C-alpha cells in the first residue's frame, strides 16, 4: 500500500453511483478478497447499495432522510409531506451532459453531494469504530472513491472538495483519499474471478453497466495480479435509469401531457409508480416473449389520485377507459433496445481500437449487467469473436470490492492510457503564420508544448521532466501553466479545445544568474502531481491537478 501502509488500519471503497451508492471495507491491510466486507444493512433495510436519494427539511438546510429511508412509499391518502426527493445529482458532474436534473432554487448540487457523503461518512465511521474504538479515522483509514471515466478535472476536484467538506478527511489534499475509475476497479476485481481463466498476455474488456452511464476499459493481464490498460477508456450515457425515463414517456403517450403534468405535481406518487415498474417488469425482463405477462397499471388503485382523476374527467382530459394502462412486451423491449444498441457500439469501439490483438474475454459488471435481456443481446452479438463473455457473481459489487483491492495493493494497475494530451506553454522565436494573439512584443511567440499525448500508454507514477530557464534577467517569476486538450496536434494554447488546468507561477530570487527550474509531472492513477525545483537552491514547489 506504498508509504501509507504502516499507518493504515482500514481500506474503505465508496461507489458513488448515479442511482445508488455503497461502501466496502477491509480491516487488515493484507486482507484477501474473501475478507472484504460490503455493507448490506441500511437503517432497517437490506441491500448491497442504498438509493442515491436525499430529502431536506423545508429550508433545505437540514437533511430529513437519505438512502432507503427516503424512498417513496405507496401513498394511501393525501399527506402534508411535500418534501421533494432529490435524485440524480451526480449528473451535474458530467460536463458534456446536456440534460441535467432540476434542483430547487435554494439548493446547490455541491451541497447535495456534500450532504449525502456526510451521511454516508457518519455511517462508515460508526461501523469502523465498532472494530477499533480508538481509531484515528483521518490518518488510519484509506478511502478510495470510484469515479466514471468521463469525469474531467473539475468534476474530480469537486468530488475532493465535497469529500473534504463532508468530513471524510482532515486536509483537502490528504493522501488518505484516492480515486480510481469504476471500470478499472472492476477490472481489478475480475482478476480474482475464477471463471475468467486469463493467462498472462490475454486482453479483456470490462463493461461497467451502471444506472447512469456505461464505462468500458480494455486491459492486458500481466500475471502476478497486475494489469495494464491498453486502449483509451470509453463511456456512454446509456445506463439503466434511462429505462425509467422511457417508462414515464410511455405514460405520457398513453395519458397525454396534461395528466402527466398533474402527476408530476405528486412527485412521490410518480416515483413510486416507476419503482413498481422496475420491481415488477424491468428487473425480470428477458427476450422470451412467452415468459412475459403484460403489466397493468390502474390509476383507480391509487387513492391519493382520486381528486386528480375526478377533476381530469370533469375537464374531459381523462376517460374511465384511460385509467387502465397495459404495458406490452414490445413496449418494454423498445425501452431496452436503444440503450443496449449503444452498449454494443461501445464494445465494438473497444475491439476496433486494437484489431491486431485478440480479446480473450468480455466481463459485464454493474447493476444493469444483471439484466438477462442485456446479457443475451451481448452474447448473441459477440460470441463469434470473443469466446468468454461472463458476468461475475454479484456484479453489482464488483466495483466496490475492486476499489478495496486497489487500495490494498495499488501496484495492481501498472499502465494507463491517457484520454487527453497534457502540456504547458513555452516561448520560441516568432515565425510567419503565428497567431497575433500569441505573439509577444519582444519577437517571441507563446506555443503549446505537449508533455504527454492522448492515446499514449504510460506507467502509473511515470515522470515527465522539462528544464526551463528564465528568458530575461529582468523576469521576476516563471510560470508553469498546465493545459489539457483532446487533440494530439495542438500548436498554441488558444487552439480550439485547449483548456487551462492550472495557472501556476513561481517567484524567482533577486540573484538568479544561471538558474534552471526542473519541472516534473508525475502521472498517478487518476491524479497528477506537478513539481518544480530550483536546481540552484534545491527549493521545491508542488501542486496536484486531476485529469480525465
Burial 253-292 (b: 16+ CB within 10 A, else e): ebbeeebbebbeebebbbbbbbbebbeebbeebebeeeeb
d(CA 284, CA 266): 27
The predicted pLDDT at position 278 comes to 92
Residue 416, phi then psi, degrees to nearest 5: -130, 160
The helix-helix angle for 241-255 and 257-264 (nearest 10°) equals 130
Give 418-546's CATH code, choosing from 2.60.34.10, 3.30.1360.120, 3.30.70.100, 3.30.70.260: 2.60.34.10
**pTM for this structure?**
0.82
The predicted pLDDT at position 473 comes to 67
d(CA 441, CA 253): 64
- Do the beta carbons of residue 514 and residue 537 sit within 8 Å? no
The predicted pLDDT at position 306 comes to 74
The predicted pLDDT at position 547 comes to 41
The domain ranges of the chain are 2-181, 187-235+336-416, 241-335, 418-546
| CB contact set of 299 (below 8 Å; sequence gap of 6+) | 305, 309, 323, 324, 325
d(CA 387, CA 390): 10
What are all long-range contacts of 471-478, with beta carbons under 8 Å and residues at least 24 apart?
Answer: 471/427, 471/444, 473/513, 475/508, 476/507, 476/508, 477/505, 477/506, 477/507, 477/508, 478/505, 478/506, 478/508, 478/517
User: Tens digits of per-residue pLDDT, 501-532?
Assistant: 877 677 766 665 677 888 888 877 677 777 77
d(CA 416, CA 230): 7
User: Tens digits of per-residue pLDDT, 382-420?
Assistant: 999 898 999 988 899 999 999 999 998 877 888 888 888
User: Tens digits of per-residue pLDDT, 241-284?
Assistant: 899 999 999 998 888 887 787 777 666 778 888 889 999 999 99
β-pairing, 41-42 vs 45-46, is antiparallel
Q: What is the pLDDT along the chain (548 residues), one digit of tens a residue?
A: 444 556 889 999 999 988 899 999 998 666 666 689 999 999 888 889 999 999 998 888 889 999 999 887 655 555 555 567 888 899 899 887 777 888 888 899 999 999 999 999 999 999 999 999 899 999 999 999 999 888 887 888 899 999 999 999 999 888 899 999 898 899 899 887 656 678 899 999 999 998 888 999 999 999 888 899 999 999 998 999 899 999 999 998 888 887 787 777 666 778 888 889 999 999 999 999 999 999 998 888 877 777 777 777 777 777 776 778 899 999 999 999 999 999 999 999 999 998 888 999 999 999 899 999 999 999 999 999 898 999 988 899 999 999 999 998 877 888 888 888 998 888 899 999 999 999 999 899 999 999 888 988 888 888 888 887 776 666 777 777 889 898 989 999 999 999 888 776 777 666 656 778 888 888 776 777 777 787 777 777 655 544 44
d(CA 243, CA 247): 6
Q: Are domains 187-235+336-416 and 418-546 of this chain identical in fold?
A: no
Coil, helix or strand for 1?
Answer: coil
- Residue pointed to by grid coordinates 388503485: 301
| CB contact set of 81 (below 8 Å; sequence gap of 6+) | 268
Domain 2-181 has CATH 3.30.420.40: yes
If one counts every other C-beta atom within 10 angstroms of the C-beta of residue 296, the result is 11
User: Tens digits of per-residue pLDDT, 531-544?
Assistant: 778 777 777 765 55
The predicted pLDDT at position 548 comes to 42
- Do the beta carbons of residue 43 and residue 265 sit within 8 Å? no
For domain 187-235+336-416, give the fold: Nucleotidyltransferase; domain 5 (3.30.420)
Amino acid at each position: 500500500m506504498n508509504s501509507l501502509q504502516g499507518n493504515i488500519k482500514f481500506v474503505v471503497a465508496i461507489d458513488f453511483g448515479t442511482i445508488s451508492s455503497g461502501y466496502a471495507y477491509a480491516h487488515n491491510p493484507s486482507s484477501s478478497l474473501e475478507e472484504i466486507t460490503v455493507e448490506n444493512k441500511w437503517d432497517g433495510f437490506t441491500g448491497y447499495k442504498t438509493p442515491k436519494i436525499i430529502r431536506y427539511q423545508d429550508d433545505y438546510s437540514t437533511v430529513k432522510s437519505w438512502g432507503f429511508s427516503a424512498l417513496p412509499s405507496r401513498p394511501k391518502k393525501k399527506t402534508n409531506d411535500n418534501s421533494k426527493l432529490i435524485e440524480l445529482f451526480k449528473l451535474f458532474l458530467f460536463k458534456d451532459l446536456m440534460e441535467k436534473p432540476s434542483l430547487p432554487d435554494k439548493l446547490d448540487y455541491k451541497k447535495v453531494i456534500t450532504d449525502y457523503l456526510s451521511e454516508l461518512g457518519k455511517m462508515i465511521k460508526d461501523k469502523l469504530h465498532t472494530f477499533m474504538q480508538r481509531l484515528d479515522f483521518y490518518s488510519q483509514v484509506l478511502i478510495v472513491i470510484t469515479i466514471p471515466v468521463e469525469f474531467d478535472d473539475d468534476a474530480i476536484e469537486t468530488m475532493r472538495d465535497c469529500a473534504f467538506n463532508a468530513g471524510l478527511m482532515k486536509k483537502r489534499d490528504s493522501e488518505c483519499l484516492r480515486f480510481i475509475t469504476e471500470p478499472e476497479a472492476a477490472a481489478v476485481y475480475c482478476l480474482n474471478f475464477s471463471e475468467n481463466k486469463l493467462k498472462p498476455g490475454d486482453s479483456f474488456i470490462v463493461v461497467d453497466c451502471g444506472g447512469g452511464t456505461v464505462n468500458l476499459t480494455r486491459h492486458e493481464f500481466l500475471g502476478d495480479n497486475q494489469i495494464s490498460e491498453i486502449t483509451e477508456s470509453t463511456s456512454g450515457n446509456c445506463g439503466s435509469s434511462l429505462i425509467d425515463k422511457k417508462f414515464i414517456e410511455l405514460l405520457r403517450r398513453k395519458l397525454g401531457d396534461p395528466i402527466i403534468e398533474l402527476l408530476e405535481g405528486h412527485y412521490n406518487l410518480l416515483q413510486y409508480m416507476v419503482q413498481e415498474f422496475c420491481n415488477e417488469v424491468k428487473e425480470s425482463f428477458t427476450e422470451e416473449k412467452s415468459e412475459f405477462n403484460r403489466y397493468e397499471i390502474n390509476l383507480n388503485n391509487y387513492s391519493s389520485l382520486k381528486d386528480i382523476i375526478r377533476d381530469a374527467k370533469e375537464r374531459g382530459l381523462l376517460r374511465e377507459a384511460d385509467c387502465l394502462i397495459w404495458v406490452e412486451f414490445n413496449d418494454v423491449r423498445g425501452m431496452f433496445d436503444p440503450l443496449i444498441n449503444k452498449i454494443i457500439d461501445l464494445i465494438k469501439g473497444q475491439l476496433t481500437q486494437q484489431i491486431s490483438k485478440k480479446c480473450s474475454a468480455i466481463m459485464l459488471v454493474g447493476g444493469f449487467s444483471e439484466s438477462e435481456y442485456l446479457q443475451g443481446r451481448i452474447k448473441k452479438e459477440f460470441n463469434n469473436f470473443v469466446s468468454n463473455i461472463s458476468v461475475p457473481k454479484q456484479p453489482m459489487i464488483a466495483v466496490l470490492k475492486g476499489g478495496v483491492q486497489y487500495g490494498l495493493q495499488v501496484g495492481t494497475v501498472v499502465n494507463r492510457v491517457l484520454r487527453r494530451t497534457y502540456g504547458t506553454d513555452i516561448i520560441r522565436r516568432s515565425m510567419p503564420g503565428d497567431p497575433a494573439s500569441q505573439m509577444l512584443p519582444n519577437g517571441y511567440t507563446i506555443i503549446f508544448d505537449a508533455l504527454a499525448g492522448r492515446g499514449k500508454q504510460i506507467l502509473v507514477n511515470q515522470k515527465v521532466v522539462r528544464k526551463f530557464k528564465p528568458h530575461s534577467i529582468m523576469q521576476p517569476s516563471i510560470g508553469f501553466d498546465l493545459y489539457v486538450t483532446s487533440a494530439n496536434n495542438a500548436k498554441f494554447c488558444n487552439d480550439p479545445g485547449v483548456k487551462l488546468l492550472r495557472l501556476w507561477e513561481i517567484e524567482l530570487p533577486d540573484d538568479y544568474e544561471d538558474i534552471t527550474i526542473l519541472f516534473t509531472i508525475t502521472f498517478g492513477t487518476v491524479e497528477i502531481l506537478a513539481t518544480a525545483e530550483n536546481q540552484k537552491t534545491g527549493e521545491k514547489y508542488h501542486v496536484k491537478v486531476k485529469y480525465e
